[in-house]
Chain A
Amino acid sequence: MSDHHPTGFSRWLFTTNHKDIGSMYLIFSFAMFLTGGFMAMVIRAELMYPGLQLIDPNFFNQMTTTHGLIMVFGAVMPAFVGLANWMIPMMIGAPDMALPRMNNWSFWILPFAFAILIGSIVVAAFGGGSAPNFGWTFYAPLSTKYGPPSTDFFIFSVHLMGISSIMGAINVIVTIFNMRAPGMTFMRMPLFVWTWLITAFLLIAVMPVLAGAVTMMLMDRHFGTSFFDAAGGGDPVLFQHVFWFFGHPEVYIMILPSFGIISAILPTFARKPLFGYPSMVYATASIAFLSFVVWAHHMFTVGLPLAGNLFFMYMTMLIAVPTGVKVFNWVATMWQGSMTFEVPMLFSIAFVVLFTIGGLSGLMLAITPADQQYQDSYFVVAHFHYVLVSGAIFGIMAGVYYWLPKWTGVMFNETLAKAHFWCSLVMVNLLFFPMHFVGLAGMQRRIPDYPLQFADLNFWISIGGFGFGLSQLLLLAVVWQACIQRKGKKATAQVWESAEGLEWTLPSPAPYHSFSTPPFIKAATH
């Protein structure tokens, strides 16, 4: 087949090509990452000094809410779907995704979903009422009885995001089940494919629950039901149960694909096969399974019975076992390897170290009596930003640098990329590490002002915030040079000296249509 390329605007609007859709997902995700990052910088600007300087408390709440929603649903999740679109067909020797038309649809829903959400914050910024201001967890009754009118836009937007994610997940599952090249057995699949398969199952299990939660909110707000209204015989705590039944698997949705990316990169630059491939697969599956029985560890202080608190505490701690298996396997992969430190490897090593820090503070939060002290403090903020920023997002960045030469056909500017790495690494720690201390000292999250004793650390946290945000412009510059200007020396098919896997058998840049005839896989490449 010739390398047929449709052109112009309709190419992007009507495309069913997995590489085009993957690129659009990644571009969209990066735009949302900068938008959510800008909101984070507004938050940090307000918190730089004690007292209220720049924005009023209600707008501050709108910023924390939309920052969280945009980063979770707009930046991290679409980035993973983008990587899945680009890489999964190439990794399993398929010509495209199994359901290409649905693939197009699941992407094009997203810009509309976020236009609705961001629209309400733009309107609010120009004085037109209030955008959602109840935190990204939108607890009832803040989001039901006391939610601003824009809450209905938010509900509709979450419905759209959910539909998009579900379609994306179904596509991934069908592709992996039905489109593997002959000889590509399940236990020969690259770990990125495995982690995405498990993530996709989590998505189709819990995104409908999120849709259910916002639907119940909508009915409570407008159709006279009382699911979450105590006055009508409902219960606001029920909202938290429904939300976190979705929410905890959701946080694994945001980390499992990163596990897969790291498991692809470490063997390449350590020049050793991945240590313990089967245990990695089983550990990922165990984490996914356990994610359904730990949700109430987000609710230790709502008044669960003692037996309930103990159950959720032990189950949560049990997750440390499969996660520990993964971390030790990564360390064992690097052990005595011939390591070199190209940019993807730097991000991957930073991921292993910093994700482990975030995991350990998670274990501290899992201890019920300790959680009574830590809950709703900056310690929690530090914990989930370590696992999401220096975990999930560093994983995404590692993956982007790893596969970028395969996508563009040119080697990216390594000096600039290394500058991006080191700036991000220093700034992310300056940003989030002191949050542990102010949190333990009692600083609450989600407040625009704080007692004077937290002033010095908050100043430095804000400096870290601005630094981390601005560092991302370096990533933009690297990607711009590689994708638009095509500057850099030509990349070989294998790109990295000892990269293994089907995607590296294709020329760089990967042709528009690949594997029209499936390759035959005789042995595992990992």
Chain B
Amino acid sequence: MNKHTNQIAKHNPLPPRKKNLKLLVSLSGVVVGMFVFAIWGMPPFYNAICKLTGLNGKVIAPASLTDISANRSSQITDKQRMDQHLINVQFIADTEPNMPWSFQPDLRSVRLPTGEQKQITFTVHNPTDQDMVGQAIPSISPAQAVAHLKKIECFCFQQQPLKAGETRQLTLVFYLDKEMPSNIPTVTLAYKLFDMTKPSAG
């Protein structure tokens, strides 16, 4: 019996209660860490991966200037014209449920050869009696087209302030680059408009 008690004493250098609490605290740390990872770690990491790979219609940064000028200045040869193909580009505009503005594209769709620039306008109207600010969020589908749709100018790059009752044309300039896979006949560019008006003080 005595020998056993010694063994136990040797086995547990700390008093058991303290030892248990120590382990309890560190395991709770793991729990809190995983919770933080799930909410503050996974979404930004996922977005970074999607931006990197162009998955799920996440927007790629606007095409670089050299890219655009190269496209503009190059003489289009017959060979290149042969490489071009027509793509049907559709435009969808929609507002978030609590956004009172009306918002629609002036053209529903356009057939566009790859490599050719196109300007499209959207009409937006603020029917309320208040000055408001809107922000459009784009989404492109199918995902394979994301890397090949290059925006040179887009109203979605900035917030759009509209006075009470104001109507305005918003401009989008874009092209589809020549590496656009030929098995995609239709690309859809959808915008959703959000209310970004800061609530006035008081």
Contact = CB atoms under 8 A, between A and B. Distances in A.
A127 interface: no
Nearest to B3: A520
A215 B143 CA distance: 28
Nearest to B191: A231
B194 interface: yes
B96 interface: yes
B137 A170 contact: no
Interface string A91-108: 000000011000000000
A230 B47 CA distance: 12
Contacts of B39: 212, 215-216
A520 B34 contact: no
Contacts of B19: 178
Nearest to A209: B38
Q: Does more than half of chain A's interface fall in helix, strand or loop, or is it mixed?
A: helix
A227 B34 contact: no
A178 B47 CA distance: 42
A174 interface: yes
Contacts of A232: 96, 137, 192, 194
A104 B28 CA distance: 18
Task: Determine which residue in A173, A230, A245, A305 has the highest number of CB atoms from chain B within 10 A of its CB, and name it.
Answer: A230
Contact of A208 (B4, B7, B8, B35): B35
Given A205-B34, A215-B39, A231-B96, A178 B56 contact: no
Given A178-B16, A211-B35, A235 B192 contact: no
A412 to B, nearest CB: 36
A206 interface: yes
A517 B3 CA distance: 12
B42 A238 contact: yes
Interface in B56-107: 56-58, 94, 96
Given A208-B32, A230-B139, A235-B50, A174 B23 contact: yes
Interface in A98-136: 98-99
A177 B35 CA distance: 24
Task: Determine which residue in A208, A216, A517, A518 has the highest number of CB atoms from chain B within 10 A of its CB, and name it.
Answer: A208
A180 to B, nearest CB: 8
Contact of B20 (A98, A183, A227): A98
Contact of A182 (B8, B27, B55): B8
A520 B50 CA distance: 57
B128 interface: no
B31 interface: yes
B46 A170 contact: no
B30 interface: yes
Nearest to B29: A204
B46 A305 contact: no
A204 B34 contact: yes
B56 to A, nearest CB: 6
B24 interface: yes
Contact of B27 (A204, A227, A517): A204
A235 B56 contact: yes
Interface string B33-44: 111011100110
A520 B4 contact: yes
Interface residues of A, number: 40
A357 interface: no
B20 A178 contact: yes
B11 interface: yes
A231 B55 contact: no
A174 B137 contact: no
Contacts of B183: none
A182 B8 CA distance: 6
Contacts, number: 101
A207 to B, nearest CB: 8
Interface in A329-375: none
A486 interface: no
B12 interface: yes
Task: Determine which residue in A206, A207, A212, A303 has the highest number of CB atoms from chain B within 10 A of its CB, and name it.
Answer: A212
A445 interface: no
B182 interface: no
Given A178-B19, A209-B38, A517-B4, A233 B137 contact: yes
A264 to B, nearest CB: 25
B53 interface: yes
A520 B35 CA distance: 40
A212 B46 CA distance: 15
Contacts of A238: 42-43, 46
Interface string A179-203: 1001100000000000000000000
Given A174-B24, A242-B38, A208 B31 contact: yes
A470 interface: no
B34 A241 contact: no
Interface in B1-15: 1, 4, 7-8, 11-12
B38 A211 contact: yes
Contact of B24 (A99, A209, A520): A99
Interface in A223-271: 227, 230-235, 237-238, 241-242, 245
A212 B38 contact: yes
Interface of B: 1, 4, 7-8, 11-12, 16, 19-20, 23-24, 27-28, 30-35, 37-39, 42-43, 46-47, 50, 53, 55-58, 94, 96, 137, 139, 143, 192, 194
Given A183-B7, A204-B34, A211-B38, 5 more contacts: A207-B31, A208-B33, A216-B39, A232-B96, A303-B55
The 4 nearest A-B residue pairs measured at CB: A212-B38, A208-B34, A208-B35, A231-B192
Interface of A: 98-99, 166, 170, 173-174, 177-179, 182-183, 204-209, 211-213, 215-216, 227, 230-235, 237-238, 241-242, 245, 303-305, 517-518, 520
28 contacts: A98-B16, A99-B24, A166-B31, A174-B23, A182-B4, A182-B7, A182-B8, A182-B11, A204-B30, A206-B34, A208-B34, A208-B37, A209-B35, A209-B42, A212-B35, A212-B38, A212-B39, A213-B38, A230-B139, A232-B96, A232-B192, A235-B46, A235-B47, A235-B56, A242-B42, A245-B42, A303-B55, A303-B56
